[in-house]
Structure formats: C-alpha cells, structure tokens
C-alpha cells in the first residue's frame, strides 16, 4: 500500500500458532534492532530499526499489524542522492484488516515522527518555481508530527520550527524564527495532494537587511492563517492558497523600498502603523507563481500587491497608501519604478 516497502537483514524470532495448516491468531514475527529501511510514498528513511508482525485474526484471510520503530533515521525523497533530514525517530503501524487482493486499498498506515532535523532549509527551494522571487538561503529546523494514511485519505499534523531561517527576496534578506504548523485535513496520498486548510505560519523576531539600509530591531512578527488551501507536494509544488494575514507593523515592507529612487517622504510614515491585517491569495502551478491579491492595511495605511514570476521573468505592482496619499511601485526583473500620478488606477488595471 502507498509504495510501502521494508528492507533489512536480521534473524527473526517467530512464535507461530497453526490451525489446519494456517497461521492462527496471536502468531508473531519479531526482528531485533538492525540496519533497516522503510519506503513510503515518495520518501525513504534509512536507520536502525526493529519490527514486529502480529496476526490479529488467523485463517485464510488473516488480519495483521506491522509495527516498525526506526531511530537515527535519514530521510530523503526516492530520487534524491542524499538525505535532507537526519536524526529521525519514526514509528509506523500498518494495519491490514484482511490480507487478499484488496489489502492495499484497505490498509491503514499510522506514522508518528517523534523527532527529526532538517539540515539545510535551502533544500526546500526545489519545491518553488525556478524564477520565484523568494528563496531560502539557509537555516536548520526541527520536525515532529503524526499522520494517518489510507489509499484514498490522509489526516494529521506536522510542526516545523526554526530559529535561524534566512530568506532572500530580490535584493533583501530577512532572518528570524519560523514556525509552520501544517494541518492535514484530507488528501490523496498517491498523488501527494493534501488539503491543508487550517494550517498556520508564524514569523517571529525577523530582521530585514537591504542594500541601502537594514532594520535590525527584533521582535517583528507576522502570522498567516490558511483558509481554503490545497498543495501537491512535488518538485516544484502546486499550491492554491487563501490566507488571512496579521503583522505587527510595516517595517520589513518599507525597508524593502529603501533603495527606491524618488521615494516621497510620506512612504517613511508607513513605519508608524502597527497591528495590520489583511489577506493573501497565492497560486503556484509548477514553474509559475502568481500573487492574485495580497493586502495588509489599517485605518491610516495600506500595502496592496499583485505579481507573477515564471518563464524567466518576474513582475509585480505594489500600491501604497498613507491617509489620502497613494502611489504605486512597478517591479520588473528586479528594477523598481515609482508611479505617483495614478497609483490606484494603475493597480486596478494591472493584470
């Protein structure tokens, strides 16, 4: 089921109960801790593990349960030459209610990832479009989670935490703490397609460093709460995301405009706004990323964005508002141009 396989070599202890030449209830096979590999879906984990197989109901169509406990595991996708996750402790329980032709369809796989470490967060760049304006420069992370999988459903949660992630956005670098709590509501595991509505991303103590200036004050934070969102976890991924956003203030956004020529003084006034909220609609389809609509605002200010990255090109438009003043910033392949005359109209017309 779900591409499951178990590889290893060891002496096996067996306690068999036979009836009419068939395995009976309570029969058990046990393998002591030895080098062991477990493959599931698109991933493989190699480590030291122990396994046991219990016949819960004997007969011609027995019910069985396989338990695997892997320590010091190294996790990689099947096509990857080197593991990207190490130090994994994974427990897996595979239950098959009736061995037979439909055993794969009826199997239930329960996974508990007690600990694991992502050695370099930059490995996740492979899941982004090649020309995406955002990339991960480095950082490590810890992973825990649990999942329940069948041939046609998925559920569970995964928690990723890091306190040193480094993200590059055009000429700017942001560093800080990230917590991603991924809630898996349902899915089609064989397609690596999952409904992650209800998941959240939290950014804490982030700092922005640009070519012309930097903002080193800590404790800037933001939160994305995912509403209706679906992901296909492939390289590159497909993502249809709708999210609510709350941010402490606009410091990172304004710092990214520090090197903008002809910037009017009122743009710096955006720094005074705190406790903003808004939304994000993002679509990633393999080699293309589309910001359909993004906005954070308060009564005094607003930052609104649209953009597209793909096919060797990146472009977008920002609409900035402070009281009754507004302006648009056009971005094309790293170049920025300030449009003050008809900012709102230009933004509304931008497709």
Q: What is the pLDDT of residues 2-51, one digit of tens each?
A: 899 999 888 889 898 888 888 889 999 999 999 999 999 999 999 999 99
| 170-174, 201-205, 299-303: which is most confident | 201-205
Q: Are 194 and 179 in contact (CB under 8 A)?
A: no
Can you say how many angstroms the Cα of residue 298 is from the centroid of all Cα atoms in its chain?
29
pTM tops 0.75, yes or no: yes
Of 231, 328, 217, 325, which Cα lies nearest the Cα of 274?
217
Tell me the CA end-to-end span of the chain in Å, nearest whole number. Answer: 45
CA distances from 99 to 8, 103, 133, 189 (A): 22, 5, 50, 21
State the pLDDT at residue 213. 47
State the pLDDT at residue 255. 60
State the pLDDT at residue 263. 66
Per-residue pLDDT reduced to its tens digit, 34-45: 999 999 999 999
The Cβ-side half-sphere exposure at 152, using a 13 Å CA radius, reads 2
Q: Which of 94-103, 116-125, 245-254 has the lowest mean pLDDT?
A: 245-254
Local confidence band at 266 (pLDDT 50, 70, 90 cut-offs): low
Query: Mean pLDDT of all residues in the chain?
Result: 87
State the pLDDT at residue 81. 87
Give φ, ψ of 51 to 5 degrees.
-145, 150
Q: Is the peptide bond before 236 cis (omega within 30 degrees of 0)?
A: yes
| 67-71, 255-259, 287-291: which is most confident | 67-71
Q: Are 158 and 148 in contact (CB under 8 A)?
A: no
275-284 exposure pattern, b = at least 16 Cβ within 10 A, e = fewer: ebebbbbbeb
CA distances from 326 to 241, 283, 335 (A): 28, 27, 20
How far is Cα 203 from Cα 163, in angstroms, rounded to an integer?
A: 10
């Amino acid at each position: 089921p779900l591409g499951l396989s178990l590889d290893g070599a060891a002496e096996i202890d067996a306690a068999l109960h036979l009836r009419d030449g068939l395995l009976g209830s309570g029969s058990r096979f046990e393998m002591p801790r030895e080098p062991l590999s477990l493959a599931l879906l698109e991933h493989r984990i190699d480590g030291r593990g122990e396994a046991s197989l219990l016949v819960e109901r004997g007969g011609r169509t027995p019910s069985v349960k396989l338990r695997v406990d892997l320590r010091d595991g190294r996790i990689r996708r099947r096509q990857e030459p080197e593991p990207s996750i190490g130090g994994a402790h994974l427990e897996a329980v595979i239950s098959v209610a009736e061995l037979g032709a439909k055993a794969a369809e009826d199997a239930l796989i329960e996974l508990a990832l007690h600990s694991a470490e992502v050695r370099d967060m930059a490995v996740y760049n492979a899941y982004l479009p090649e020309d995406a304006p955002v990339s991960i420069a480095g950082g490590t992370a810890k992973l825990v989670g649990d999942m329940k999988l069948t041939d046609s459903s998925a559920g569970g949660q995964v928690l990723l935490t890091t306190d040193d992630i480094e993200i590059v956005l055009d000429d700017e670098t942001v560093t800080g703490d990230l917590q991603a709590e991924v809630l898996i509501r349902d899915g089609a595991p064989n397609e690596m397609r999952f409904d992650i509505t209800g998941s959240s991303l939290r950014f804490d103590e982030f700092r922005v460093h640009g070519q012309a200036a930097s903002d080193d004050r800590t404790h800037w934070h933001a939160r994305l709460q995912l509403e209706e969102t679906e992901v296909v976890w492939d390289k590159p991924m497909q993502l249809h995301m709708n999210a609510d956003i709350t941010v402490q203030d606009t410091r990172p956004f304004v710092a990214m405009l520090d090197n903008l020529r002809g910037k009017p003084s009122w743009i710096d006034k955006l720094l005074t706004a705190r406790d903003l909220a808004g939304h994000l609609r993002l679509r990633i389809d393999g080699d293309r990323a589309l910001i359909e609509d993004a906005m954070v605002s308060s009564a005094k200010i607003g930052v609104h964005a649209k953009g597209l990255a793909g096919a060797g090109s990146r472009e977008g438009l920002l609409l900035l508002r402070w009281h009754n003043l507004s302006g648009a910033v056009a971005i094309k392949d790293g170049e920025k141009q300030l449009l003050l005359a008809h900012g709102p109209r230009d933004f509304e017309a931008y497709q």
